[in-house]
Structure formats: structure tokens, C-alpha cells
Chains A and B, each alone.
Chain A
Amino acid sequence: MDKKILETVKELTAEQLGIEVDEVNEKSSFIDDLGADSLDTMELVLALEDEFGIEISDEETEKLKTVADAVKYIEDNK
């Protein structure tokens, strides 16, 4: 897993959800572990799109459950 992407995703996640970066690890589930609601997830996706210059469709968004899922998606689509 690309360390740099992972760090950026963790930072954006923490910022978006108003929590500390060290509360987030690659296994964290956005909804179950970090308390995101579906709108938070959407907004995080928008932030990731901006940061990495990618597009994440609504169907793909549904599949991104954990930090690792997001990192993998970014690696594959960057």
C-alpha cells in the first residue's frame, strides 16, 4: 500500500470527520469505526476526488467502506 496516499487519506478523513489522525488506521471503517454518516462519506469522497484528481462514481462510493478500500481505489485509478 502506498504510504503517501495512505497518510493523505487518513488526514483528509480526520479533517472531514473532526477527529484526530491517530484515531484513523487503514482498517478503520468510515461508518462503523469512525462514526461517519452517509453524508460525511459523500463529502469525504468529494475531498478525495479533489485531492487526487480522480472521479469516484456513486456506485463506487458505496463500495469504499474502509480507509484501505479508499487507498486501493486511488492507487488503481490515479
Chain B
Amino acid sequence: MINLEGKTALITGAARGIGKEIAIKFAETGCNIAICDLDKEKIESTIDEIRETGVEAYGEVCDVTSMDSVKDMVKKFLEKFDKIDILVNNAGITQDTLLMRMSEKQWKNVIDVNLNGTFNVTRSLIRSMMKNKYGKIINISSVVGLMGNAGQANYSATKAGVIGFTKTVAKEYGKRNIYANAVAPGFIETDMTEKLSEKAEKDLMNNVSIKRKGKPEDVANLVLFLASDLSDYITGEVISVDGGMRM
């Protein structure tokens, strides 16, 4: 039903976890794939996996916190693919601790990747999307950006920030056929949630209606919908995929 043949998607932080699953799901519908991440080896193995679907796929090592690194990455991909139709800002980190113990560094690190990274990549690509008069931008926020979470002052601030950013992009470029939406996942099983204590995990799961943890695939399905023409009248929206954690 969803066919992204002829389109190209750039997905950040896609060497593993949710980003990787998004890349594979997109590729299965014919979409060419550009991924970036910090982890060179994992980029390579992920690219190999994606190419098995038959689409064109390339990876670049890029730190999204560095505007220079991002500009360089975007330039290289635009040379390879001519145009990028879909951008998924997925790279993200956590450095959890209570506010009273949070160092300035922990605060800044998380802002730098989750919020500044989203700005850097979107800023570097928006001109080209304007030129093509087409773009689907999907930013990975989080349910905690909507409801807060003890121990995640830095992370929730960035994920709420991403929502404001998304809505603004939707307003600025809607006229030009550029869409921007945010996705707010709940508890998804990846390396990121691996490090949670059993107690923290249990507390979180108590509030989830669908009695299982989410899988990267659950998020990827929603992102795929937002990247496709099935969502052509949806922009500036935040959609949760959290098994009912926040209602």
C-alpha cells in the first residue's frame, strides 16, 4: 500500500535501534536510504542489511552536534542522490539523573544531540527541500516531552523543544509542501532503555495499557505512515506510539 519508490530518506542515528528499523522499513517500500551515525562499524553492517532490499543505500559518519560535520554529510548525500525527500531526525541520547544531581555537562550534552542536532540537520536540508517544493520531516520526540519524567529534566526539555520546533517548521514551510510532524514513543526496547533499572522499568510499564514493551517496529510503522502520502493532510502534529502510557 505504501510505496516510496523514487524517494530518498535521510535518517540520523540509524546505525541501530529505532532509526535502523525505520531505515529498513522505508527500504522495504522502495525508498533509497541515507543514514548517519557516530558508529562506523554499525553503519556499515546496517547499510549491508538495507541493500539486501535492493534499494540504493549509503552511510556517513557524522556527529549531529557539529554543524560542520552535518553540512558536509548533507552535501555528500545530495551529490549521491540529487534530492532528499524525507528527513527523520532520530539521533538521540539520554543522561538521566535527578535535577539536584544533574551537572551542567549532562544538561548540555543532551540538549546538544537531541535539540541542536535536530536544528543542525533540518537547517542544512531545508533549502534543498524548498527548492524541490517537497519534504516530509519527522522528528522523534518522546512521550516524556509531553508529560515529563523524574530523572529526565534534560531529556524531557529537549523532547518538548523538538515539538515546538516541529510546529514552527510546519508553519513556515507548509505553503511549500513541506510537512513536519513529531512522533512521541513511549517505552521501546532498544539499547537506550536497556540501561534502565528493573524498578524504573516496572514503574513505567505500570502505566502502559497494552501490556508489553514497544518494539522499534511499532515506531517505524508510524514514521512510515508520516513519510508517505497517506498522511498528506497531517502536519504540525505530535503522535504518540506508547501503548497507552499517556492518555
Contact = CB atoms under 8 A, between A and B. Distances in A.
A46 B127 CA distance: 8
A59 interface: no
A50 interface: yes
A33 B162 CA distance: 36
Interface residues of A, number: 5
Interface residues of B, number: 7
A62 interface: no
Contacts of A50: 131
Nearest to B128: A46
A39 B127 contact: no
Interface in B163-190: 172-173, 175-176
A57 B127 CA distance: 11
A56 to B, nearest CB: 11
A43 interface: yes
A42 interface: yes
Given A39-B172, A42-B130, A46-B127, 8 more contacts: A39-B173, A39-B175, A39-B176, A43-B130, A43-B176, A46-B130, A46-B131, A50-B131
Per CB-CB distance, the 7 closest pairs between chain A and chain B, nearest first, are A46-B131, A46-B130, A43-B130, A42-B130, A39-B172, A39-B175, A46-B127
Interface of A: 39, 42-43, 46, 50
Interface of B: 127, 130-131, 172-173, 175-176
